[in-house]
Structure 1
Amino acid sequence: MAAWLRSVTDQLAPAIALLASRRSRRDSLAEVLTAFGYRLVFVDGPQAMVPADLASVETDLWLLDVAEDCESIDWLLGQSDVPVLIGVGDTPAIDSEDYPRWQRQLYNKLLPLLGSPPTGVAPTFAAAKAPGLAGCVWVLAASLGGPNAVKAFLDLLPTTLPVAFVYAQHIDAAFEAQLPQIIGRHNDWRVVNCVAGARLAPGEVMVAPIERSMRFGPDGDVRLSDAPWPGPYQPAIESVIDEVMRSFAPACGAIIFSGMGEDGVAACGRMRQSGMEVWTQTAESATCAIMPQAVQDAGHSSRQGSPEQLAGALRDWLEQEWAVAP
């Protein structure tokens, strides 16, 4: 039997209709969504539903947590006139360090689709309040021709901006130590190689390690592993983008500069689907356009430009989104 949840006090909150296969998942998700301040207008499993039932639900978004195909899911994906969000990931144990990240990831998926609810509590994260932490974090990703492009980009950006960068460059490990000098000369950015325990600060560019994988802890500190990056590329741009999004969303983005291959395309899609910016270097300005073009061809690039144009665009974006003083 469908459960309809309405209250007099939350009429202005965006409405969510929830379909989840398991009762335990419906209960836990309903609790979290209500705590965020959203209005649950429908909660049920998909098995007993028919299209006529779904069409009668007045909602701003359908949230689906289902493990099987059925008529109701097919109808929503093809006929719904409101957004349909599929999947929220496995819910970590409530006392684990990954639980706040999962909450924030879910909230950040809802935010660009529904906006902020007028009441409720947005999930917080220790890293967002750490002293000196960057206002937002962007990935600078590159391969062949990348160092020159990234340097040209940084040369035109003032270090007073409330942003830090994680620079993922496909390069032989023998040149990793030289990357800060290569891209940091002629500008005032603090370009550093990645070390365990470090935290990103405004005006800083952190070079992703080549032979060791990295992640960010609950308070934004760097965690290094002796395990290599997954996949054929070192570092794995795919993993770097996913990790930055997991740790800093929605205050993050990515720029794909000159390079070969298609590393990072899928992660760029996930970033765009979550409402964050993904920009790419134009083919005519790149030494090798294969990597940025792959992102653009997949429909994941929200802006294209030369390194110089992208620098100006980021300054404008920060002025709009973060109220940077001119």
Structure 2
Amino acid sequence: MIIAESQQQRHAFEDTFTQLGLSIVGCFAPEKLSDSALQYYAQQSIDLWLLDSDDNGELYQKLDQLLEAAQYSQSGQQKLITKPQLLIGFEQAPPLSASQPYGKWQRQLRRKLASLLNLPQLNITPNAAARYRPWRYVLLLVADSQHLEPVQALLTQLSAELPVSILLAPTVSTKGNANSGNINPDQSLHALPAYLQQDNDWRCQVINSTLNMQAGHCYIVPLTEQIVCDSTGRVIINRQQQGTLAQLFNNCSEVFGEQLIALCFTKIASDRQVNTNNGNTAHSNAAHSLIKTSIVFDAASIAAANHSLLWQPADMSAQDLQALAAKVSHLCQ
């Protein structure tokens, strides 16, 4: 869990943790994390809390009390949740564009993490060229953020060795999640990687800064900000404008063309169908939203696209999901 005052610091922490293959439960500015949210996360099984704010002492005291209380049930019996490690404060990260000082900063952080977590392998400098896996296809997934079970099941069925990079656009349900309490959508978004990575080898992360897509990675799109991709797989985040599914779809369709596979999990699909240029059939309705809270793709956009479109109900059976995974795998060969 990352709590840092500076946006640059948050991006640097998240970038380094992702490179090391560590799952990020959340990445917040202190003012964005309410007391109820802090209490919620304190009760989760988190190995490391990284605190870096102007009020480290006050934040540490509050968190330490919550973590201590989380060790015990209401009856006073000790729970199985292990109290996590805390890293309080760290040297300010240089800009990501300053490669040499940024690399030095990352090495210092790796050494600190290796010691705290007792993971000496984190201290081994990764070879970026060997680590990078080029993609040949892009899979755009759209699903209600409160109904991501089929997405997680699909990732479990799909091999992370496929030459495909995934963009996941979770839409926010107006009803919310009864189990989420006061956790806001942004907090829920950062909790998704740990959930989506269960029982599979995909590496999932929320898009927080400009990056280059890789095969075997699932990038979670925050529609609160505009995400723009280019044909090389570079993903650029525009914080000045709010993103929409229509903008994301049209951008991906334009730059990726036949390399794009779009898949929408939804409980609302019209009876109308349009044919794409490659003969596939897609449900569409220009007058109604395919997902309750979002205006999605109109028939003209779909008909003009050269990519594969697969529209699936959110409540698919395990057998249907297996068949869908096989179809996606075939398209990616």
Instruction: Normalising by structure 2, report the TM-score.
Output: 0.45
Instruction: Normalising by structure 1, report the TM-score.
Output: 0.46
